[in-house]
Structure 1
Amino acid sequence: MSTPRLSARNKRWLIHETPREFIAAWRQFPPLIAAVLYQRGLRDESAIGEFFASDYRLHDPFSLRGMEAAVQRIVAAIQNHEPMAVYGDYDTDGVTAVTLLVQVIRAMGGMIQPYVPHRIREGYGLNIAAIDALVREGVRLLITVDCGISNLREAEHARAAGLDLIITDHHAPPARLPYALAIVNPKQPGCPYPFKHLVGVGIAYQLARALVRRGLRSTLQKDDLLDVVAIGTVTDMGPLIGENRVLVTHGLKAINAAQRPGVRALIEAAGLTPGKVTSTDISFGLGPRLNASGRIDNARLSYELLLAEELAMAQRLARELNAQNRQRQELSKSVQEQASAQIRALGKHQQRIIVLDDAGYPSGVVGLVAAHLVEEYGRPTVLIERGEMWSRGSARSVPGFSIIEALTACADLFERFGGHAEAAGFTIATDRLPELEDRLVRYADQRLPDDLLIPSLRIDAGVPLGELSYDLLNELKKLEPFGQGNPQPVLMSSRVQVIGAWTRGSEGQHLKLRLTDAGGRGPFNAIAFRLGHLARYFEQPRWIDVVYTLEVDEWNGSDALQLNVKDFRSAR
């Protein structure tokens, strides 16, 4: 059931009811937990049992199509001391996958070097100049991670250059697959692998498991690798269901053991508490710092950090990443303000899809900014750095509208492109930008229905404010790890009183609230990010409905329950 009343963030609240008979049938869970399970689509004994299972279980890596051929070629390369390279994308998924395969294959005695392209100079995916450079260096076998599935021309060039190519990727494959010795991608036609949602580093991990199954010895254990698997999976927004949930659950244990110097240094640089790192900390603390180097300069810094053997070196690299992350934050904010002003000036917020290009939009942050613009305007957004000859863009979408399908409908325009339903990237000749916008706008007009253009907020359950407690929070924590596909439960409390309001943040951009219920229970602290401009509304006591996630606010050695406010509206 949806409610049309306006809210602080101008969103439609989607309040989903859970049948009473379901809650009664699962009396072993508190009613709130049963409601969340129902809203996650976990409604039978098998699905619920699998969700809560904590045992380490993965499908046979050899059920991935192409895995047998890939393993045979890598084994031969190790045994014959052939030079290899692993080529990854410059985001965190690609960097962690590169780190994993370099670490594993070197431990097995292989000669392998990492290669991550420069975002600005080389762009996304395989490129011919890099292939030629690797061939000149004597590389005989090239393994891609998190990219390659759309690189038809580059794959043909590698074959002509005498380079064996293995593609491992998780992005949606094109109608025609590139030529390669082996393609390992669960989404390719004919692949029987049951779980289709592994990200790039998850597929790289399965490749490592397959190499071990073929008898290659290594001193590494799974816990030496699952830390980077968890970081890459969460940061790339892999849905935390099925195998991804298993990998991240066990990966968090490895992260909190902090055996890898680079992870220890990264935790320290992010100001996180060692031993208490969560999937949310990966999303907002570790992942953005690893992403920063690829967005601002060169992703080499990130995989050097993860491969560092000495803590002192790792700490130095982590400090550099911290500085780059601050630079990335400032740049993103500036570009977002500029883009938002341009969208309104041109009236593009009235279109079903926003397509915007400018020479002043650095390609390193266009994806981040596009995501913020989707949140601001409730429309798929394509943001492009316009160059003299070539332009690079990133696209983000709203739930229910596949942006990769939209770009595929324009495939003839791109030099190269790739991605999935929620996010994609591309390189295009600058003189084709007007045609791209025209075709995307017409595509969206035909295939993007009105109901997907109304920003909405999904609510898992209603909870009286007075029932919030540490016991309830501990029950919710049993549903972790949270992330894409298993978000932190969103709760609503109706008719609560605001008895205090203050701005927070260096520019007063955030809103701090004190809340009680009609019976005076509380008070509870609440924080509403980016709503500081509404503080004056609460100069008089107000009654509101509030939507939030429940968390602990730790400050100066003490902690208290806190509502992380997602939205609020005036109570009836």
Structure 2
Amino acid sequence: MTYRWNYSTLSDYQKNKKDELAKELNLNPVLAELLINKGIETKEEAMKFLYPSLDDLHDPFLLPDMDKAIRRIEKALGEKERILIYGDYDVDGTTAVALVYKFFRGITNNIDYYIPDRYDEGYGISFQGIDYAVKTGVKLIISLDCGIKALTKVQYAKEKGIDFIIGDHHVPDEKLPDAVAVVDAKRSDSKYPYDELSGCGVGFKIVQAFSQRNGYPFSDIEPLLDLVAVSIASDIVPITGENRIMTHYGLKQLNSNPSFGLRGIIEICGLHRKHITVNDIVFKIGPRINASGRMMNGKEAVDLMLANDMTSAREKSLNIDQYNLDRRELDKKITDEAIDYIDNNLDIENQTCIVLYNETWHKGIVGIVASRLSEKYYRPAVVLTKSSGMISGSARSVPGFDVYKAIESCRDILENFGGHTYAAGLTLREENLPEFRERFKRLSFDGLEPKMMSPQITVDAEITFSQITPDFIEGLKLFNPFGPENENPVFLTRNVTDSGYSKLVGKGQRHIKLDIIDSSVRTPLPGIAFAQHYYYERIKEGKPVDICYTIEENTHGSRSYTQLMVKDIKE
């Protein structure tokens, strides 16, 4: 795969700012350059970024309708009304439900939770869920990570004598549901300083507001940040602002004293006694929680996260791990089928998007398959299947193309839709599929620039190997946690050569275990270049190459060492 490297040197103004920051903070100049690249120019901004503080969390009552939401919850508690916590079946929804339920369970026994079935009920608020609330005597539903477009469902609940508080983070329509409160920072009238909260993050803000109003110390709710960190990493929301603060402290909780349920997953992932990072959540913890909603019912994931002892947590973790194994098998099978169809039936070079439909594909897997196709072909991908007489599925996008807006513009032929800039879900009638396909193709043709359809690597700074010192690596740790809009910095080093000990490794000898130097050092640095075996011959001939890479700290037994994770090599 040929990547385009994007690297812009600093302007004179930025260089001056970099020097000022480095001097004021006694900071390595390269680290100061990384801050400048993020738009951080003052000492105060840099300190807030490098040293996240819970004191910098925003007042939850700045969120729209938060005061109304808390007053209604207080009324329900005072009058001993039954409350139902309702959430989506993915990681964000299930962690949100677990968090809010766990908190209020300590205050009242008149509380229950509900996760809709992906296959029988579909995404969001369902009539079945409301009927369950009626049957069990619920008077207040608090929905999390869903509900912002559920106008008819909220009205149906109102007719049944049930109030709704909606806590969501998706983009609302012009008309909001007729709920007691709609807590969403993406409302057009919102004055909240940060609008990228996860659904679980919104749940935490509700709990924070209630605690603030009712005299509970913040230390009572701080342990719940482990769930927020899992949701932020898994839902791929930006790790900036408040999300960065909550992820920072949530990871501390995950690494020091996670809840029983999360500890069960940590053990089953092989992460016990290892330092857990955002990547571990994205690739190990999150997929297992998600597998419950994909393969069975997301309620099992909530049951796990609410476990009261390790025996129960381990038992439930084993079940969810099996769901994940089943999910991986299906994922591979359907992805292979999709790739085979594309390679044999589509002239992909002349396509600006991918829209696939197969009525036999598993509904719980199509989102993952859409992600795989988007990553492989660098095109927006929509993968659809048949479910309950409708066509439904998921869309994933590439940087620069807002797939949610594209789908929203087709709303007149859709039954339901929702999502974010780079990930969305949709449901439509079968007779509308041809028109949707044509419209989406036209929208992608108009909205995509050629550069968006080729892989790119953004380089943050050019350095020599001599600059990779222990102090530099310690300073780099302050930029954690890494994730969307705060990616692990990518460095460029030119004219790198083999020390004589680089070799091919792995299945099929496809990876290069590098042992490399540049003109600034005599001691080689270790690196790994996955699936880049085609450069091996040149490297072994002693010819210089340019590399771009991230810097990782690996632990092998009791020994830690620095390793370059080489993203790309150029002759």
Shorter-chain TM-score range: over 0.9
Q: Is the 8 A contact 2:232 2:243 kept in 1?
A: yes
Per-residue deviation, 1:387: 4.3
Per-residue deviation, 1:111: 1.6
Aligned position for 2:43: 45
User: Residues 361 and 503 from structure 1, CA distance in 2 versus in 1: closer, same or farther, beyond 3 angstroms?
Assistant: farther
- Bigger CA drift: 111-120 or 519-528? 519-528
Structure 2 counterpart SS, 1:183:
strand
Task: Please give the residue correspondences for 1:103-182 in structure 2 after superposition, counting only pairs within 5 Å.
Answer: 103-182=102-181
Aligned position for 1:21: 16
Aligned position for 2:255: 256
Structure 1 counterpart SS, 2:415:
strand
| 1:363 alignment partner AA | K
Aligned position for 1:549: 550
The answer to whether residue 473 in structure 2 is matched with residue 481 in structure 1 is: no
- Bigger CA drift: 136-145 or 341-350? 341-350
Aligned partners of 1:47 and 1:371: how far apart in 2? Answer: 35
| 2:244 alignment partner AA | R
Aligned position for 2:456: 456
Superposed CA offset, 1:442-466 (max 9, x none): 1222222333223211110112234
Per-residue deviation, 1:216: 6.9
Aligned position for 1:493: 493
User: Residues 511 and 131 from structure 1, CA distance in 2 versus in 1: closer, same or farther, beyond 3 angstroms?
Assistant: farther
User: Residues 219 and 566 from structure 1, CA distance in 2 versus in 1: closer, same or farther, beyond 3 angstroms?
Assistant: closer
Aligned partners of 1:509 and 1:158: how far apart in 2? Answer: 57
Aligned partners of 2:568 and 2:197: how far apart in 1? Answer: 32
Aligned partners of 1:395 and 1:65: how far apart in 2? Answer: 29
Aligned partners of 1:55 and 1:220: how far apart in 2? Answer: 14
Per-residue deviation, 1:179: 2.2
The runs of at least 4 consecutive aligned structure 1 residues that moved more than 6 Å come to: none
Structure 1 counterpart SS, 2:566:
strand
Task: Please give the residue correspondences for 1:46-445 in structure 2 after superposition, counting only pairs within 5 Å.
Answer: 46-57=44-55, 58-215=57-214, 221-274=220-273, 276-347=275-346, 349=348, 350-387=350-387, 389-445=389-445
Superposed CA offset, 1:192-247 (max 9, x none): 11111111111111101111233276997123211111111121122111111111
Structure 2 counterpart SS, 1:26:
helix
Per-residue deviation, 1:535: 5.6
User: Residues 61 and 385 from structure 1, CA distance in 2 versus in 1: closer, same or farther, beyond 3 angstroms?
Assistant: same
Structure 1 counterpart SS, 2:547:
strand
Q: Is the 8 A contact 1:361 1:385 kept in 2?
A: yes
Aligned partners of 1:352 and 1:291: how far apart in 2? Answer: 30
Aligned partners of 2:126 and 2:83: how far apart in 1? Answer: 17
| 2:415 alignment partner AA | E
Per-residue deviation, 1:508: 5.3
- Bigger CA drift: 315-324 or 191-200? 315-324
Superposed CA offset, 1:106-145 (max 9, x none): 1122522111122223221112222222212222211110
Per-residue deviation, 1:32: 1.4
User: Residues 311 and 387 from structure 1, CA distance in 2 versus in 1: closer, same or farther, beyond 3 angstroms?
Assistant: closer
Q: Is the 8 A contact 1:501 1:538 kept in 2?
A: no
Q: Is the 8 A contact 1:107 1:219 kept in 2?
A: no
The answer to whether residue 20 in structure 2 is matched with residue 10 in structure 1 is: no
Per-residue deviation, 1:357: 1.4
Structure 2 counterpart SS, 1:214:
helix
Superposed CA offset, 1:260-305 (max 9, x none): 1112222222222537222232222322222221222222222111
Per-residue deviation, 1:259: 4.4
Report the TM-score, using the length of structure 1 for normalisation: 0.92
Q: Is the 8 A contact 1:150 1:417 kept in 2?
A: no
Per-residue deviation, 1:158: 2.0
Per-residue deviation, 1:348: 5.5
The answer to whether residue 505 in structure 2 is matched with residue 503 in structure 1 is: yes
Percent of residue pairs bearing the same amino acid type: 34
Aligned partners of 2:339 and 2:265: how far apart in 1? Answer: 33
User: Residues 528 and 160 from structure 1, CA distance in 2 versus in 1: closer, same or farther, beyond 3 angstroms?
Assistant: farther
Per-residue deviation, 1:424: 0.8
Aligned position for 1:6: none
- Bigger CA drift: 513-522 or 54-63? 513-522
Structure 2 counterpart SS, 1:134:
helix
The answer to whether residue 32 in structure 2 is matched with residue 34 in structure 1 is: yes
Per-residue deviation, 1:542: 4.5
Aligned partners of 1:221 and 1:367: how far apart in 2? Answer: 36
Structure 2 counterpart SS, 1:374:
helix
Structure 1 counterpart SS, 2:41:
coil
- Bigger CA drift: 462-471 or 475-484? 462-471
Q: How many correspondences in the alignment?
A: 561
Per-residue deviation, 1:51: 1.2
Per-residue deviation, 1:98: 0.2
Structure 2 counterpart SS, 1:229:
helix
- Bigger CA drift: 83-92 or 553-562? 553-562
Aligned position for 1:4: none
User: Residues 531 and 373 from structure 1, CA distance in 2 versus in 1: closer, same or farther, beyond 3 angstroms?
Assistant: farther
Aligned partners of 1:565 and 1:225: how far apart in 2? Answer: 36
Aligned position for 1:561: 562
Per-residue deviation, 1:329: 2.6
| 2:46 alignment partner AA | I
RMSD over equivalenced CA pairs, Å: 2.3
Aligned partners of 2:53 and 2:129: how far apart in 1? Answer: 41
Superposed CA offset, 1:392-440 (max 9, x none): 2111112222111111101122221111111111222222211111111
Per-residue deviation, 1:489: 0.8
Q: Is the 8 A contact 2:21 2:41 kept in 1?
A: no
Q: Is the 8 A contact 2:148 2:172 kept in 1?
A: yes
Aligned position for 1:514: 515
| 1:365 alignment partner AA | I
Structure 2 counterpart SS, 1:140:
strand
Per-residue deviation, 1:309: 0.7
| 2:524 alignment partner AA | P
User: Residues 245 and 339 from structure 1, CA distance in 2 versus in 1: closer, same or farther, beyond 3 angstroms?
Assistant: same
Aligned partners of 2:88 and 2:541: how far apart in 1? Answer: 52
User: Residues 565 and 177 from structure 1, CA distance in 2 versus in 1: closer, same or farther, beyond 3 angstroms?
Assistant: same
Aligned partners of 1:569 and 1:253: how far apart in 2? Answer: 38
Structure 2 counterpart SS, 1:432:
helix
